[in-house]
Amino acid sequence: MTDDLKGRDYIETSDWTDAEIETALAVSRDLKEKFRKKEPHRHLPDRTIFLLFFDKSTRTRNSFEAGITQLGGHAHFITTETSQISHGESPRDTGVILSRYGHGIAIRHDLVPGEGNAYMREVAEHADKPVINMQCDIDHPCQTLADLLTIRERFGENLKGLKVAVSWAYAPSYAKPLSVPQGLAMLLTRFGMEVVLARPPEFPLMPHTLERARANAKRSGGSFRVADSMEEAFEGAHVVYPKSWGCIDLFREPERSLALAKKYAHWICDEKKMAIARPDSIYMHCLPADRGHEVTDAVIDGPHSVVYDEAENRLHTAKALMALVME
């Protein structure tokens, strides 16, 4: 275990170099193997991490809670409703106090564009312990790190030329954050992959994230482009990653965003669309997927699906991040 990253924040994957991302992946693989062999790996005995949630969670909360326990530490689960944040306590005060009580702070604040990432960075500015982004409005760096690990487990270390289709898909449940597709575009293009983003015209992503994806692709020898249809993105793809996200201009009016999305209810990942991809393609989703809307049961439960492997890897990458940055 290296000490080079001790005390570092992990707010966007772009904050870490390629070599540092590779270190996180290597530690994830090592901890995954130890977990499977039931070998103790208590790298953080008696350490405390505070998990601060502005939004609901299943995989993220449980991967961090189980992960810190397996590393020998303890997690405190905090919601805004059960803390003084609901009464207006500042990010500065929150960061300073939690730093003095423990050894790391992890935050999920993802639903409103322009808020979550800025909040985390303000906490990090005043905290003297590392801050980990459990999902914000710009990036979901824990999810995308696990996604990259999963892709490598299926296709090997060298991913140059691998085609990845990141596509919008219809979901009626709620206006979902933009951070997963943005995070995928920014991270996967760093490793020479050919990333195609498909979305209806009313569902763009933040321009600066796409600019970063294009710059990363140019540097790595990969490519990045935007397509108008799922079918165009899926054609010949090794990886398909269809999921819903809300209209960036309507996050304070979610019902309008959902009404707009109904125009595109045919944007569903079904067996017909999977047939356009390569025969050895994999279907990915960060979960929970809106079954029958984003994806059919035949696909998510079928032979191309790696969603449970992907979800498991959330545990191992969360543990790697905590072990690397917490002292």
Residue 124 sits in the same domain as residue 168: no
**Is residue 253 a part of any domain in this protein?**
yes
pLDDT band at 156 (very low <50, low <70, confident <90, very high): very high
pLDDT digits (tens, 9 = 90+) for 50-59: 999 999 999 9
Q: What is the tally of helices (H) and strands (E) in the chain? A: 12, 9
Residue type at 219 in one-letter notation: R
**Is residue 6 a part of any domain in this protein?**
no
Nearest Cα neighbor of 197 from 225, 223, 177 is 225
**Average pLDDT of 281-287?**
98
309 contacts 303 by C-beta, under 8 angstroms: no
**Average pLDDT of 253-270?**
97
Residue 115 sits in the same domain as residue 181: no
pLDDT above 90: residue 317 = yes
**Average pLDDT of 150-173?**
98
Residue 186 sits in the same domain as residue 280: yes
pLDDT digits (tens, 9 = 90+) for 65-99: 999 999 999 999 999 999 999 999 999 999 999 99
DSSP percent split of the chain into helix, strand, coil, nearest 5: 45, 15, 40
Q: How many domains does the chain have?
A: 2
**Is residue 4 a part of any domain in this protein?**
no
Q: What is the pLDDT of residue 46?
A: 98
Residue 116 sits in the same domain as residue 183: no
Q: Give the integer Cα–Cα distance in Å for 97 and 102.
A: 9
Q: Give the integer Cα–Cα distance in Å for 153 and 32.
A: 12
What's 17's DSSP letter?
A: -
Residue 111 sits in the same domain as residue 158: no
**Is residue 2 a part of any domain in this protein?**
no
**Average pLDDT of 265-292?**
98
The range of the structural domain enclosing residue 265 comes to 142-310
Output the domain CATH number for residue 58.
Answer: 3.40.50.1370
Mean pLDDT of the chain: 97
Q: What is the pLDDT of residue 298?
A: 98
**Is residue 19 a part of any domain in this protein?**
yes
**Average pLDDT of 224-239?**
98
Residue 51 sits in the same domain as residue 154: no
Q: Max alpha carbon distance in the chain (Å)?
A: 55
Residue 67 sits in the same domain as residue 111: yes
pLDDT digits (tens, 9 = 90+) for 120-138: 999 999 999 999 999 999 9
Nearest Cα neighbor of 194 from 214, 180, 208, 210 is 214
Dihedral sign computed on CA atoms, order 294, 208, 12, 176: negative
Is-cis flag, bond preceding 288, omega within 30?
Answer: yes
Residue 199 sits in the same domain as residue 232: yes
First-residue to last-residue Cα distance in the chain: 12
pLDDT above 80: residue 1 = no
Residue % of the chain over a pLDDT of 70: 100
What's the chain's length in residues? 327
- Measured torsion, CA atoms of residues 180, 185, 189, 193, in degrees rounded to the nearest 10: 80
pLDDT band at 2 (very low <50, low <70, confident <90, very high): confident
Residue 153 sits in the same domain as residue 258: yes
Residues 6+ apart with CB under 8 A from 22: none
How many other CB atoms are found less than 10 A from the CB of residue 301? 11
**Is residue 3 a part of any domain in this protein?**
no
Residue 130 sits in the same domain as residue 254: no
pLDDT above 80: residue 113 = yes
Residue 103 sits in the same domain as residue 126: yes
pLDDT above 90: residue 239 = yes
**Is residue 38 a part of any domain in this protein?**
yes
Residue 229 sits in the same domain as residue 254: yes
- Measured torsion, CA atoms of residues 308, 310, 314, 320, in degrees rounded to the nearest 10: 130
DSSP per residue over 174-225, as a string? ----SHHHHHHHHHHGGGT-EEEEE--TT----HHHHHHHHHHHHHHT-EEE
